[in-house]
Amino acid sequence: MTRTARVASTTAPAHGRREHWSGRLAFILAATGSAVGLGNIWKFPYITGVNGGGWFVLIYLICVLAVALPIMVAEILIGRSAQRSPVMAFRKLAGARSPWQGVGWLGVTAAFVILSYYSVVAGWTLHYSWLALSQGFAGLHPAEVEALFGQVYQDPGINLFWHGLFMLLTVTIVAAGVHSGVERWSRILMPLLFLMILALVLRAAGTDGFWPALEFVFGAHGDRLTPAGVLEALGHSFFTLSLGMGAMLTYGSYLRTRDDVVATSLAVGGLDTLISLMACMMIFPIIFVAGLAPGAGPGLVFVSLPIAFGQLPGGALWAAVFFVLLAVAALTSAISLLEVAVSHFLDWRGWSRRRAAIGIGAVIFVLGIPAALSGGTRLFGGDFAAATAVLFGAGHGKNWFDLADYLASNWMLPLGGLGIAVFVAWRMGGQAREQAFMAGSRFARLYWGWVWLLRYIVPLGVLAVFLHALGVF
């Protein structure tokens, strides 16, 4: 038996023929759903506000083009070429005993860890959606709205209930399969998400704060931008596209071998960036009208916006639309995270999809319990103030929530993204890489520019993210 045959025999999935997307649009919607999440609608507006908008946004866009998109093309290309989940993809392309499998294992592990605490944060969006729909913000003074988030964070019953409900929704969708689950719900949730964002942007456009917000986000100014802000733009451009956690590789494995990887990557990256910018233009006008600060930080969504909506005509309705939008965005990302782990066990152990989704979902729910319990803030000697400070990137607490977030964001994802870039640029082989890039592509002329970025610019960018996370800069 040849070496190629031996590798193929060890990597063939035991569950039968691999599912594929029904078409290019299905992949774009699903992959955009994976990329679009709380990072777009929650984090990007608040880091834009903290860094003064303007030049920060421009630098972010440059980083998306120079660092994030090349990695995305590489990650999807690996998945499409191997037609396997992350670990088995590297095993197929590099050999059954290759250490490159570690990059795949890193992605699967990151998906487990991230979803365990991401589900808790997503639970807050469900709770706030319920409050908005049930008039729970009505009559609250600003100080009461501010105190509300602290109460939600500290209430173990609320956190466990919404954490469990969110995981149940995610498991139900993924268990239904690629066509009947992930693809079908992506076709429903992504247009719904876009329509809600568009409605909120149009509502914001009718306020006196729209033009000041437009100038704040896109104006040629950088008086509040610091070197740390530049590195934050770089880091967020990398993380916003769900890179390094195996999601794009897994979704790419459901592409057919002639599907255009470059065109689909550009479409996904473009839609993700557009939604981030639209999120700014739906939030900042409302904030300016209410006389609140754009640099409020992480509390911009859970504290400042409920206060601002309370000062608008029909504010209760728009608050409900916004928090439902936030929950939908969280759900589309969670689906892709669970799909990474489920696809791995389908390929590796030959489990049925239903068994894998339910079993892994249950494990992730249990892993998320320490983050959901208010007592979890004391597991490593931290207190509530320290915990929330680190959760939002402002301190060095040591609770479970913080530890999981720190490990995933600062180590697992950068290492995964770097491994993908180095593998494709230096290990995959020039002929195989070029053929994979060219297959079905309308952008063949971009090939050498893409390889150059992967070889030199991307590693430098990821290294800068590492050093920034370690406090060197």
Does a structural domain hold residue 44?
Answer: yes
Percent of the chain at pLDDT above 70? 90
pLDDT score of 203: 93
pLDDT at 420: 96
Pairwise pLDDT comparison (52 vs 380), residue with the higher score: 52
Residue 177: the pLDDT is: 93
0.85 cut: is pTM over it? yes
pLDDT at position 60 over 50: yes
For residue 410, the number of C-alpha atoms closer than 13 Å in the C-beta half-sphere is 15
pLDDT in tens, 312-358: 888 889 999 999 999 999 999 999 999 999 999 999 999 999 999 99
**120 in a structural domain:** yes
Task: Give the residue among 224, 253, 211 at the shortest CA–CA distance from 85.
Answer: 253
What's the total number of domains in the chain? 1
Look at residues 182, 163, 180, 185 and name the one whose alpha carbon lies nearest to residue 361.
163
The pLDDT assigned to 265 comes to 95
**Domain-embedded: residue 9:** no
| More confident position, 11 or 94 | 94
Rounded mean pLDDT of 398-421?
80
Q: Is the pLDDT of residue 4 over 70?
A: no
Please give the residue that has the higher pLDDT: either 451 or 11.
Answer: 451
The three-state secondary structure class of 283 is helix
Tell whether 400 is covered by a domain. Answer: no
Cβ–Cβ under 8 Å, residues 372 and 166: no
* Range 126-131 average pLDDT: 94
Q: Determine the pLDDT at residue 396.
A: 43
For residue 450, count other CB atoms closer than 10 A to its CB.
21
Q: What backbone torsions phi and psi does residue 73 show, to the nearest 5 degrees?
A: -60, -45
Is position 345 within any domain?
yes
Burial of residue 367 (CB within 10 Å: 0-12, 13-18, 19+) is middle
**CATH number assigned to the domain comprising residue 291:** 1.10.4160.10
Mean pLDDT of the chain: 87
Q: What is the pLDDT of residue 186?
A: 95
260 has pLDDT over 90:
yes
Whether residue 174 contacts residue 111, with contact meaning beta carbons closer than 8 Å, is answered with no
The answer to the question of residue 178 being in a domain is yes
**17 pLDDT exceeds 80?**
no
With respect to residue 30, please indicate whether it lies within any of the assigned structural domains: yes
Give residue 421's pLDDT.
95
Pair 249, 86: CB distance under 8 Å:
yes
Q: With cut-offs at 50, 70 and 90, classify the pLDDT of residue 473.
A: low
Cα(200)–Cα(418) distance, integer angstroms: 37
Residue 61 main-chain phi, psi, to 5 deg: -65, -40
Give residues with Cβ within 8 angstroms of 348, minimum separation 6.
85, 87, 88
401 pLDDT higher than 80? no
- Residue 393 confidence (pLDDT): 42
- pLDDT above 90 for 295: no
Give, for 163, the enclosing helix (H) or strand (E). helix 156-175
Going by pLDDT thresholds of 50, 70 and 90, the confidence category of residue 238 is: confident
* More reliable by pLDDT, 231 or 341: 341
Is 316 inside a domain boundary? yes
Domain extent for 130: 17-366+409-469
Mean pLDDT for 256-261 is 90
Mean pLDDT value across residues 176-201? 94
